[in-house]
Structure 1
């Protein structure tokens, strides 16, 4: 019987099922929401760490709890697809920053300044970082997640603000007579709280940028983000955040009240001699 050459090309190839699966590589941009295959943890990307054991991504869940996970192949799920997260490296952008100011060539970000900008929610932090990130890094200003104004006094006690060590706070729903206004009434000269009038930072993104005619009305007592997703036919809060975050690329996508609030905080934390009374 002669040699059957039907198998000659596959002798060393191995069984098809033994081939290693290939997963799509996705840049782990800040604010990207991912699920960990191993334990089901769901969180937004807030940063990375490099250790002797390789690179890790930091994921923060909706309660503000964060965990580190190694960037392994196929270790994460995004919108039902198993993927490999890779560290995001920002490309060289245009010669103007998102705020419209001219970028200075060959200028490295400053070492982090003593002052801080705190934002009330994790989605707020992601959007502020996306739009103002370059300008803030050049100024050396660090943006940190506050996890609600109820934690403000405790954080201030731990931080110890003072001259040259200021704190600027971005708040949602900062309108006259609200709980947020009462919480921030008497915080001293080195703490400045400002914000936008919307119940949530999603609503400070222009509807046209998100591709909707308007933000839907959600009755009091119903969780706003969940109600918005239900009325717009978005799957869940995670999908909603991804839609909003991906829609924001510049100042043109934001309501002027949010733009003005962040600009005031930048001035307060970076310009010596500016008083918060000057920024009202």
Structure 2
């Protein structure tokens, strides 16, 4: 018969000291006692905050052998103060420490609605300020040909337009086809609404639901997911889950990057 062990110390804390690992931001570890797995988002004296892939956060003490890194016990320690490491913006671009916003270019990027503009700002805001690119929303593109004509694009004032549901045969594709201007670039994504350009896993859902034709898409999504039918509140919830380009679908990423490149080719700045 095995002798009774009066030592109640968890097994992962009884062995030899584990390697010390700095709790740097974005380091993914598992808390040994609870199995909670997440990325480091903060480290204060004596504690570390982890966030899992669903956005849930928990605070744990920095105890010896308290975490698993790639399955092996480690002791997390607070990162040593030192020269700031190169970091990246939410879009994945290399951040420029201390960079000031550039005077706005004459060119513009137009998007369909407020949610589109807020999502672009969320991910590309730092890049847009450095490049001096202003994003404005149109509240729909039904009058796009007239809007482009009024803007008067030219070599020194390029115009980029981001369109929802830009697929063959859609109303949006027919409107976009009416615009023919060498200095205007119209690109889009295939989704009925920009909500669906956010990866479902980032929002904590298996997939974006199919909404019957003729029903308001946003309201239908809320209803299908069991959310309160408050589309404003639903959007704020979705937007809060977007932390970087990794939370967005590639079709939107490519479209926005293309627009930024188009607008920033040459052109003067204006006060």
TM-score by length of structure 2 reads 0.64
Partners of 1:158 and 1:116 in 2: CA distance: 13
Runs of 4 or more, structure 1, over 2 Å off, are 92-95
> How many positions carry a matched residue from both structures?
182
Structure-2 residue corresponding to 1:175: 167
Partners of 1:110 and 1:218 in 2: CA distance: 42
**Structure 2 residue 249 is the aligned partner of structure 1 residue 268:** no
Partners of 1:262 and 1:146 in 2: CA distance: 16
Q: Residue 204 of structure 1: CA displacement?
A: 0.7
Q: Tell me, what secondary structure is at the counterpart of 1:241?
A: helix
Structure-2 residue corresponding to 1:219: 212
**Structure 2 residue 212 is the aligned partner of structure 1 residue 241:** no
Q: Tell me, what secondary structure is at the counterpart of 1:149?
A: coil
Structure-1 residue corresponding to 2:114: 122
Q: Residue 180 of structure 1: CA displacement?
A: 1.2
Per-residue CA shift, 1:65-107, capped at 9, x if unaligned? Answer: xxxxxxxxxxxxxxxxxxxxxxxxxxx9972111222112222
Tell me which of 133, 139, 146 is aligned to 1:141.
Answer: 133
Compared with structure 1, are the counterparts of its residues 93 and 170 closer, same or farther at alpha carbon in structure 2 (3 Å cutoff)? farther
**Structure 2 residue 96 is the aligned partner of structure 1 residue 96:** no
For residues 149-228 of structure 1, the aligned pairs below 5 Å read 149-185=141-177, 186-228=179-221
Q: Residue 239 of structure 1: CA displacement?
A: 1.9
Q: Tell me, what secondary structure is at the counterpart of 1:150?
A: coil
Greater length-normalized contact order (CA 8 Å, ≥ 6 residues apart): 2
Kept in 1, the 8 Å contact 2:86–2:94? The answer is no
Q: Which runs of 5+ in 1 are unaligned?
A: 1-91, 274-280
Structure-1 residue corresponding to 2:252: 258
Q: Which runs of 5+ in 2 are unaligned?
A: 1-83
Partners of 1:126 and 1:93 in 2: CA distance: 28
Rg larger in structure: 2
Per-residue CA shift, 1:166-209, capped at 9, x if unaligned? Answer: 11000100011221111112321111100100100001100010
Partners of 1:240 and 1:93 in 2: CA distance: 36
Q: Tell me, what secondary structure is at the counterpart of 2:160?
A: strand
Compared with structure 1, are the counterparts of its residues 114 and 229 closer, same or farther at alpha carbon in structure 2 (3 Å cutoff)? same
